[in-house]
Amino acid sequence: MKDATTIQIELDNFLKINGYTLQYFSEQSGINVGTLSRIVNGNRPISMEQLDRLTSGMGLEEGTLYDLFVDDFFVHHSLNWRRLRPFLLRCAELKKHGCIQKILSHLLEDLKQIPNIFITAEIMYENGWKEAAAILYSCVVETEKYQHAERLAISQYRLFQLSLGSDTTINLRAAIKFEPYKDRIPLHFRLDALLLLANIAFTLQDWTKMEDIADELLALAQFVYSDKKLKEEDTFRTERHLVVYYGQGYLIKSSALEHQGRYEEAKEYIYGYADLSWFEDLDDEGVKEVKKFKLFAEANLYNINLLTGNFEGLNKFLTKYPHEVLPSSVIILMAANKYHVRVDKILDHLFGLIRAHKNNYYHEANYTNRYINFYYQLALYQLSGREKEGIDNILRSLQISIKVNNTGRILDCISLYEKHKRLCTNEQKLTYEKMIKEANHNEKVISFIDVTNQS
């Protein structure tokens, strides 16, 4: 018999304390008695399945013996990925991140293990075990000695994806960190990466950056579309149908131009995605996407009409395109504020539609950003005659902006509030002061608020 492992000792003590025979425990755990005997005597390494059965048979919580398994694995056995990978995946499933870190500390004694660590990270990512995958991707990033290795670039991309959330500043930092690796990742990943980068540029209102990303996305989608061999490769797997990336290239470009007031140029790009029925290899999903782009084009052309002062058919438009009501409501209010047109009669209609139609196609951060802009534009509109409601909507926009750390809009809201402070009720002043105090817990916001309050 070899030197006893810690799991052997635990099992032996358990059997003695409870007076169990191997036969009885075999029936309790579901492990063959012969296999169990060899495990107890140290003549057989424990598999992942057997470890979980041992744990269950001993009446312990799932994963209780995992730390001991790690100790035993590296002390008593040579490295075997056929045994180690299932264990790592099980740790990821049970969120045993401490065990994963412990394993990595052993593995990194030999940098030749990096390829297998990366492969395991990808499996974790595909299974949705994002926190565990991030631990492994970070390990690859920190230890990969070949700086131009594709797995390093992919690991940076995965960490970028996993970092994204509602916090605008965190998203920006993640984008800055990832961008140097953007051109090193495979083309199918790059298409999705460009969509994510465009979303971040939109929330930051960086229209020039959006234009650049749109140009790159459109060029890449056109290249892939024209390369039939590339599309047929088994490794070329995009998250969406290729028509989405092609159409989004035009849509993102038109949006960036629209926000810069370059309306005629924006129209040309809207026409670029208005009818994509000619696109080859459209399956059912592709056809659905083409229909969506047609809807977006019709809605966005109407938005440009609004922004150039044409308010005809407004109620008809809102009835026809209820799913576009939130972005269109922002445009309606912007146009009303720009041309001093009253749209009071449709505001109640807008509120009802916005409540009825939640997020339907837009990235989470963009969706939140649209609410921020909606309340801000509504506040501007209401400050001419409905001041109390206007102040309430400044505070709504400020509250969401602080929550997602949209520092640009925080500044806008604070400036607008201070400009109309004399119109505030005592309750509104207290609400504002409470928001500022809460925001001061966020170091990213402090400098903006302090500077404003000192002015």
- pLDDT mean for each 10 residues of the chain (455 residues): 67 90 91 87 80 92 90 80 93 96 93 95 98 97 86 97 93 96 95 97 95 98 87 79 97 97 97 97 95 94 92 80 76 92 81 59 64 94 94 96 90 95 96 90 50 40
Nearest to 28 by CA among 13, 42, 5, 11: 11
> Tokens 């629209």, residue?
258
List b or e across 181-215, with b for residues whose CB sees 16 or more CB atoms inside 10 angstroms.
bbebbebbbbbbbbbbbbbbbbbbebbebbbbbbe
Provide the pLDDT for residue 366: 63
Pair 236, 199: CB distance under 8 Å: no
Provide the pLDDT for residue 171: 94
The CATH homologous superfamily to which domain 1-77 belongs is lambda repressor-like DNA-binding domains (1.10.260.40)
Residues 6+ apart with CB under 8 A from 336: 342, 343, 381
| Burial (Cβ within 10 Å: 0-12, 13-18, ≥19) of residue 264 | exposed
Provide the pLDDT for residue 48: 84
The secondary structure of 238-281, three-state, reads CCCCHHHHHHHHHHHHHHHHHHCCCHHHHHHHHHHHHCCCCCCC
The secondary structure of the chain, three-state, reads CCCCCHHHHHHHHHHHHHCCCHHHHHHHHCCCHHHHHHHHCCCCCCCHHHHHHHHHHCCCCCCCCHHHHHHHHHHHCCCCHHHHHHHHHHHHHCCCHHHHHHHHHHHCCCHHHHHHHHHHHHHHHHCCCHHHHHHHHHHHHHHCCCCCCHHHHHHHHHHHHHHCCCCHHHHHHHHHHHHHHHHHCCHHHHHHHHHHHHHHHHHCCCHHHHHHHHHHHHHHHHHHHHCHHHHHCCCCCCCCCHHHHHHHHHHHHHHHHHHCCCHHHHHHHHHHHHCCCCCCCCCHHHHHHHHHHHHHHHHHHHHHHHHCCCCCCHHHHHHHCHHHHHHHHHHHHHHHHHHCCCCHHHHHHHHHHHHHCCCCCCCHHHHHHHHHHHHHHHHHHHCCCCHHHHHHHHHHHHHHHHHCCCHHHHHHHHHHHHHCHHHCCHHHHHHHHHHHHHHCCCHHHHHHHHHHHHC
Provide the pLDDT for residue 7: 85
Provide the pLDDT for residue 364: 54
Provide the pLDDT for residue 350: 74
Provide the pLDDT for residue 46: 82
End-to-end CA separation in angstroms for the chain:
80
Pair 192, 160: CB distance under 8 Å: no
Provide the pLDDT for residue 162: 97
